[in-house]
């Protein structure tokens, strides 16, 4: 009897979930201003002030190879181009999340209900073992403004000087910084965003 009751409850929950997902209209009802809390003009004004700025380059949900357009819940999702319409963009046409954060277009939550505060660590680390490339300045502040320390430590980075043998080969292979950059964060081909500190012997600005 207990097994039958449990099965009946699970079946009822599954039906409710399917109804809830399938009854949602397509994302046309969700505007970019809804997502960015009405701050659309801030981002687009910043974009217009940069004459070399590219247009937003983002893939649709139906063609990204991740989402299934045949799934009944697909219609509840918002297209990235719509969600990011108000965002500043970098020179390669990707959304500039850090600039969006600086402009107040987005405001990350520390918890689900938004009751806690983000624990921002204002500490920069300089990586000088970069050969002829400019040195890399890693800003903890920009990362901890929306990520908890446990996202990186200790699985990806050991928080101890000299403990992480970071190389570009490893990063390009998806290790260290490459866990996020080139995937959910800006591409690795915007070199100057990491290699931002020129030194004697580093090349002239090429971008």
For residue 56, what pLDDT is reported?
82
pLDDT in tens, 114-159: 899 999 999 999 999 998 999 999 999 999 999 999 999 999 999 9
pLDDT in tens, 169-187: 999 999 999 999 988 899 9
Q: How many CA atoms, within 13 angstroms, populate the side-chain half-sphere of residue 100?
A: 26
pLDDT in tens, 66-95: 999 999 999 999 999 899 988 998 888 888
The model's pTM: 0.69
Angle value at C-alpha 110, between 107 and 115, nearest 5 degrees:
95
pLDDT in tens, 12-53: 555 544 444 444 443 333 333 333 343 445 666 666 665 455
């Amino acid at each position: 009897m207990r097994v039958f009751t449990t099965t009946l409850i699970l079946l009822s929950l599954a039906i409710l979930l399917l109804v809830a997902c399938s009854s949602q209209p397509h994302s046309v009802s969700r505007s970019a201003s809804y997502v960015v809390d009405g701050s659309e003009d801030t981002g687009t004004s910043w974009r217009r002030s940069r004459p070399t700025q590219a247009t937003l380059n983002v893939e649709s949900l139906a063609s990204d190879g991740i989402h299934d357009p045949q799934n009944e819940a697909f219609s509840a999702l918002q297209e990235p181009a719509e969600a990011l319409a108000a965002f500043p963009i970098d020179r390669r046409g990707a959304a500039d999340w850090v600039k969006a954060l600086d402009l107040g277009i987005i405001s990350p939550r520390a918890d689900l209900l938004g009751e806690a505060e983000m624990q921002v660590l204002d500490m920069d680390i300089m990586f000088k073992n970069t050969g002829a490339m400019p040195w890399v300045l890693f800003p903890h502040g920009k990362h901890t403004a929306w990520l908890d320390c446990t996202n990186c430590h200790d699985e990806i980075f050991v928080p101890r000087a000299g403990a992480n043998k970071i190389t570009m080969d490893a990063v390009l292979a998806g290790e260290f910084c490459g866990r996020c950059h080139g995937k959910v964060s800006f591409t690795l081909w915007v070199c100057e965003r990491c290699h931002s500190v020129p030194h004697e012997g580093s090349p002239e600005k090429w971008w």
